[in-house]
Structure formats: structure tokens, C-alpha cells
Amino acid sequence: MKAHPLVTIYITNYNYGNFIKEAIESVLNQTFKNLELIIIDDGSTDNSKEIIEKYKDVDNVRIVYQKNKGLNVTNNI
């Protein structure tokens, strides 16, 4: 059987504390498991970091925190 390719999904976040958990859980609950999730927080000032930190020990999750640079720069990280 042919191996499935690794899929990378990234979520950019700036003050989306009300939605970030749902977005992360949606990715992690996919039936396709050969994936990695990169969460890039663009200097949020709400409770986003507290929510994102709950996923720091999940094997296929990487978290990047940065000072606010805007969506265009963040998409290129």
C-alpha cells in the first residue's frame, strides 16, 4: 500500500480566542491522521495564548508566537 503524504495545516490567529479552540479541534479530529498543525499567533492580546497553550504537548502540533506583524507577513512564516 502506498504511504499517505504528510499534510501540513496552518492556522493564523490574532485575537480569535472565541474561535481558535474550535478551529484546532476541527483539524485534530480529522480522520486523516498523517498531518501536522502549525498554529501561528500574531501577537494576540486576548485569551488566545491560554487556549493555544493547551495543545503544546500534542505531538503533531507546532506553535509559533510572534509580535503582531499582520496577516500577510504571518502567512509567510
**pLDDT above 70: percentage of residues in the chain:** 94
Give residue-wise pLDDT tens across range 5-31: 689 999 999 999 999 999 999 999 999
Residue 2 pLDDT exceeds 80: no
Q: Residue 39, SS3?
A: strand
Residue 1 pLDDT exceeds 60: no
Q: Which of 31, 42, 35 is nearest to 61 (CA)?
A: 35
- What is the rounded average pLDDT of the residues 50-63? 96
How many other C-beta atoms are found inside a 10 Å radius of the C-beta of residue 42?
A: 22
In the sheet that holds 61-66, the strands lie side by side as 7-13, 35-42, 61-66
**C-beta of residue 50 within 8 angstroms of C-beta of residue 21:** no
